[in-house]
Chains A and B, each alone.
Chain A
Amino acid sequence: MKNFLIFSLIIISVSCCKPVDPPPPTPSTTGNLRVSFIANFNGQPFVLDDLYNATFNYRIKSETLKFLVHHIYAKKSSGDSTEINQHMYVNFSNTSNAFTVAMAPGTYSGIKFGLGVDGSLNHSDPSLLPPSHSFSINQANDMFWTWATGYIFTKYEGRADTTGTLSGPTEQLFFFHTGADTLFREIDLAQNFSINLDQTTTVYIDLDVNKLLNGTNDTINLKIDNGTHTMGNLPLASRFVALLSKAFSIHL
């Protein structure tokens, strides 16, 4: 009896340590949403280091274009929204800037996301985030102000031909490094889409790079305003962020 009890206890103890058997497969109840950040230049396919004609008859060669995205939501027409990704580092040096998430089937009315890093995380220590986190020092090590704690939300760099002849040398360097709590923006884009059972729906968040310098209400002349690290020229950083936040569109 005693041995039986001991044996039983051992068996029970060992059993407790074993992983729980996976449940039997259940029928799928979700579809997939793929969200892809892409870019164009005034309707043309955008490629880094290619030359594009821009306003003022300038030619622009974009060499770096990247930004941090915090909290991406799929919206419903009822006003409800579901967070589909907490953090993303969009870098157009990469071949793709997309993610896929399983979602309940249904009809959705758009996507919204934070451009930058919100105040809850903006002043944290990036080396404390797990390497899998898009804002960790392992992934976003070049998107952090090192002289003042906080993230660089956006980096747009390149060279321009500002002769106005469309044939001059691309000698004018430009850089827009923006990042401050006051420059965090929420982008809200309307586009109806459906998620169907076991199917993948792709939604494109499309950035018109031409609009980064040439918007409806403002135009940045690279001959005059060609660089900001935010704190050194906050007015220009604010103008750039205003243009950037109006440069996104959404389509299927």
Chain B
Amino acid sequence: MKKAYSKPVATKIAFSYQEQIVASQALGEQWEVSCGSGVCGHLQSSGCSWLTPGTAGVRVRGIR
């Protein structure tokens, strides 16, 4: 039996802060965040390695 059809749509959600990308991932996933907004500066200033606030244990690595 065929599935019900609905119009295929792709909707882009732009993130203001890179933290939102990180927060949407499962705990424990490794993420690389490239340089861009102020977030990158934050990562850079702490040696490209920092724990995301509110997501204990998730280490994020920034790359330029």
Q: Do A and B bind each other?
A: no
Residues of A within 8 A of B (CB): none
Residues of B within 8 A of A (CB): none
